[in-house]
Amino acid sequence: MRNTREIIGEEKVKSKFGLEFLKPSHRKKEIERKFLDEWEKIFKETNSAFKVLKNRLKNRIVELKKERRRGKKIIGYFCNFTPEELIYASNSIPVRLCSGSFQATFIFDENLISDTCPLIKSSFGLILSNSLFYNFCDVIILPLVCDGKRKLSEILSEFSDVWILKIPRTKSEIDKYLSDLYVIKEKLENLTGNKINRKSLENSIKTFHKRTEVFREFLNLKKESPGLIGSLETNLIGFTSFFDDVEIWTNNLKKICENMKRNKKEEKENKIRILLTGSPIIFPNTKILKIIENYANVVVDNFCFTEHLYHSVEVDDWSMKGMMRALANKYIAPSICPCLLSEEDRIDRTLQLIEDFKVDGVIYYQLRNCQLFDLEYLKMRQVFLRKKIPIFKIVSDYSTQDTEQLRIRIETFIEMIKRGKK
């Protein structure tokens, strides 16, 4: 009996160690079309000031191709535990591979029907199908964060070079991470042939510091007039930082901030203010943002990638060791990722944001099958209820099936806040 898949005409991809995966070439077009459609659509809904970013995705893909032909290395990474500064200092390009594409998850499902984290499924799919900017990486740096990423590193190592970055389980073990950074640094130097010396690292730290400065300015703008910048915009900005060049990104955001300052008057009407936190909502998985925006203003979205932009490497001692220490500190110490024993750091941070942005209610988003975010919620809920801040958890994945159900639940939650306010 012939395999049904063979009838359809699907080829198989052989990995380094002889494992066979279905070749997802038929998916590639669909993924890219959907992705670009969403990309176009989002600019119709967002503020006109954000038009600057519109061409960035397509242009960047062309740019990356060019740079690669010129011999620059492109280094993919996951999570906000990978030091971009180091990659940038070695004169190669960091590209973050975390993905939110629903279509890409099918590629994983075709090979193995499983209940894993959709982020991992999707990223795997995009990398296997070589779509968009996900296909240029010479090396993938994968921090061993949660269990999903741990195993993903194994799977991905079948197709490309994967460097593992060990992440400590507690924040006090920061020295282990630091020693691992030195390993990554050496590997980067060997790959690119460029020495990461004091000057290049100092330069790159300063460049990334400027990114933080502009992002904080952007957040301040949001704080002053919260209706002006919605969560779609913030999410877009976060997402563009995944693939865009730092300097271009910083300049673009600067332009956006200036534009926004000029248009300050056109504020939306007074809506309920929502803080959105939890698992990262990565473009094009923006369905929840769109639902909430219908009923309320999302004034803060506190995800790992926005936090990553918010923090900067603060160096006191500009020697090589001092800078590396500061790097390690930045990536581990203020992290709110639940994979670390963060000791209520996330709760403190969220409480502070609630105070700063005068938030009415909190929506906690959890990607389906993410244990860590699920368990983190337990403590958070108790603390928030004690402080009489309404908090509400939604569990969802990248599929659009549950949109209506989510809409009803979110609407009722916001209705409840409104009544509570009166």
Partner 1 sequence: MKLEILRRIVRILSFIIIIYGGMIAYYFGIRNFPVIPISLPISYAAGEKTFFDKNYGIHFFEDILMTQLPIYLILTTSIVFLISLILFGSSWCGWICPLGVLQDGISFVRRFFKINGFKLSKKIEKFFDYYRYFNLFSILLLSFLIGDYFINITNISSFRDLHGKVSVSKTSCPGTALCFVRGELETTIKRLTPPSQPIRLFFYFLGLFSLTLYLGSFFIDRLYCRICPTGAINFLFNRGSFLSIEKNTQKCTKCKVCLEVCPMGQEKIYKEKISKNVDSYRCLKCFKCVEKCPEDNALQIKLGKYTIFSSKFKKVEE
Instruction: Give the footprint of partner 1 on this chain (CB under 8 A).
Output: 171, 174, 198, 206, 209-210, 213, 216, 311-312, 314, 316-322, 325-326, 329-330, 333-334, 343-345, 348-349, 351-352, 355
Report the 10 Å Cβ neighbour count for 230.
Answer: 23
Residue 329 or 396 with smaller CB distance to partner 1: 329
Residue 322 or 420 with smaller CB distance to partner 1: 322
Residue 150 or 261 with smaller CB distance to partner 1: 261
What's the min distance (Å) between Cβ of 21 and partner 1?
41
What's the min distance (Å) between Cβ of 358 and partner 1?
15
Contact 213, 177 (CB under 8 A): no
* Per-residue burial over 354-373, b = 16 or more CB atoms within 10 Å of its CB, e = otherwise: beebebbbbbbbbbbbbebb
Residue 109 or 258 with smaller CB distance to partner 1: 258
Contact 277, 362 (CB under 8 A): yes
What's the min distance (Å) between Cβ of 207 and partner 1?
9
Residue 244 or 307 with smaller CB distance to partner 1: 307
Structure tokens at 325: 């220490």
Q: Measure the CA–CA gap between 117 and 41, rounded to whole angstroms.
A: 26
Residue 84 or 293 with smaller CB distance to partner 1: 84
What's the min distance (Å) between Cβ of 309 and partner 1?
13
What's the min distance (Å) between Cβ of 170 and partner 1?
13
What's the min distance (Å) between Cβ of 238 and partner 1?
18
DSSP 100: -
Q: Measure the CA–CA gap between 213 and 218, rounded to whole angstroms.
A: 9
3 state SS of 362: strand
Number of H helices, E strands in the chain: 17, 10
Q: Measure the CA–CA gap between 108 and 112, rounded to whole angstroms.
A: 6
Contact 53, 232 (CB under 8 A): no
